[in-house]
Amino acid sequence: MTTIADIYAAINPLPAMLSEKGKVNPNVDFHIEANARMHITVKWKKYGAVSEWEQDYNVFAGSDFADCLSKAKALIAGLPSAEQARLEGFMNKLGKLIDIGKDEGVSVDFLNPLLDTMKRLSENVITYKPAPEAA
């Protein structure tokens, strides 16, 4: 039988694991509904969010606590590194800026260097191979 202390001990490291992946204001909770199900919610502030309410989250339901926990840990392990997440966030903003420039009729002479930069960044993301994480 899993105790409340066991649950706390298992989920308490998860926010720090999310922080290592560059997630801001991470939060993890475990929820049990009577006659229903249990789940772990993993959430953090969205990249570039202005409001605290702008969050990314995932909910992992399972047949038991261990099942929920393994799903949550698998998500965290699969997240890009903090550096990679920042690069992808920057690329997203740069892409939006290029689109705004096109919509506003900004000269191609100004946009071409941005498009070249976006292409180089995209190639770097595609070929990026993170270092293996320490066990």
**Helix, strand, coil fractions of the chain, as percent rounded to 5:** 55, 20, 30
What is the residue type of 92?
N
Each residue of 62-110: pLDDT tens digit? 889 999 999 999 999 999 998 888 888 888 888 888 888 888 887 777 7
Task: Give 106 or 134, the one with higher predicted confidence.
Answer: 106
The pLDDT confidence band at residue 10, using thresholds 50, 70 and 90, is: very high
pLDDT reported for residue 124: 63
pLDDT reported for residue 109: 77
CA distance 89 to 84: 9
- The model carries a pTM of 0.70
Q: Please report, for the chain, the start and end positions of each structural domain, with discontinuous segments joined by +.
A: 4-78, 82-127
Residue 58 per-residue DSSP state: E
As a whole number, mean pLDDT of residues 11-32 equals 94
Residue 85 Cα distances to 79, 99, 110, 115, angstroms = 8, 21, 27, 20
Tokens 């595609």, residue?
A: 126
